[in-house]
Amino acid sequence: MESDIGIAEKPKIQIKGIREGLLIILEDGDWQKVHDFLLEQIDQQAEFLCGARVALDVGSQVLKAADLGQLRNQLSDRKITLWAVISDSPTTQQTAQTLGMEIQLTKAKPEQTEQSISPGIQSGEQAILLHRTLRSGFSIQFPGHVVVIGDVNPGAEIIAGGNIVIWGRLRGMAHAGAEGNKEAIICALDVMPTQLRIADQISITPQQRKKAQPEIVRLRDGSVIAELWNPK
């Protein structure tokens, strides 16, 4: 199932058959060159690839929305669906997620997530800051803490190894301590989530319209408890 179609002195491209369709592995190097060579290779095998579902492993390339969006459109011009982009660059992973693509071939177990995002960091040691509204369909998985400045809308999800802090309204799904840390907390200026999870506990908040107040959610005796935040 594996064919190596790289040519000497050109960037190497590998195409493999996998359970989910085709996986194309690109070599690191100047993105423009890699990109042009990829399209050239695809055009040479247009008949074979037409209608294919493709996952792309871009290595450590740092890609912005414009790069990935352009490539996806160029592939769809050739009747190829790009459904996943695999990378060890957090920027590229975020770009792929915001464009609605998968960043893993299969649903990851927590330890794989940790490895794929940044190997070697301890759960809860690092944090990622998202300064934007997280809209429906957005998903972020991070082994450390997640801090959001903005609202988390219904249909968005945050899965963090550590704590989750939201300077805004929480209306989507938040999972803190996803790798089993029972000390993890979730706090937000208004806690109205579709679902909350801490470690292995799941809770559904009753749909009551109350006055927006900052709250901290933590595990107490094995159940998820929300407390008003009171600085005094």
Partner 1 sequence: MPGKVITITSGKGGVGKTTACANLGAALASDGLKVVCIDADIGLRNLDVVLGLENRIVYDLVDLIEGRCRTRQALIRDKRLPELYLIPAAQTRDKSAVSPSDMIKLCDELRGEFDWVIIDSPAGIERGFRNAIAPTDMALVVTNPEVAAVRDADRIIGLIEAEEKGPARLLINRIKPNMVKRGEMLSPEDVIELLAIELIGLVPEDENVLTGTNRGAPVVLNGKSRAGQAFRNIAQRLRGEKVPFLALDENGGFLGKLTRMIRTGGR
Residues interacting with partner 1, by CB under 8 A?
A: 65-66, 69, 73-74, 76-77, 79, 98-100, 133, 135-138, 151, 153-155, 171
* Residue 187 C-beta: closest distance to partner 1, Å: 21
* Residues whose CB falls within 8 Å of the CB of residue 25, separated by 6 or more in sequence, listed in order: 13, 14, 15, 16, 57, 59
* Residue 88 C-beta: closest distance to partner 1, Å: 21
CB distance 25 to 57 below 8 Å: yes
Nearer CB in complex with partner 1: 27/190: 190
Nearer CB in complex with partner 1: 17/51: 51
Nearer CB in complex with partner 1: 17/154: 154
* Residue 157 C-beta: closest distance to partner 1, Å: 13
- Report the alpha-carbon distance of residue 103 to residue 55 in Å, rounded: 9
CB distance 105 to 84 below 8 Å: yes
Nearer CB in complex with partner 1: 13/68: 68
Q: Tell me the one-letter amino acid at 187.
A: C
Among 179, 49, 170, residue whose Cα is nearest residue 108: 179
- Report the alpha-carbon distance of residue 218 to residue 163 in Å, rounded: 10
Nearer CB in complex with partner 1: 211/220: 211
What is the distance of C-alpha 50 from the center of its chain?
A: 28
The two tokens of residue 88 are: 């060890």
* Residue 65 C-beta: closest distance to partner 1, Å: 6
* Residue 227 C-beta: closest distance to partner 1, Å: 25
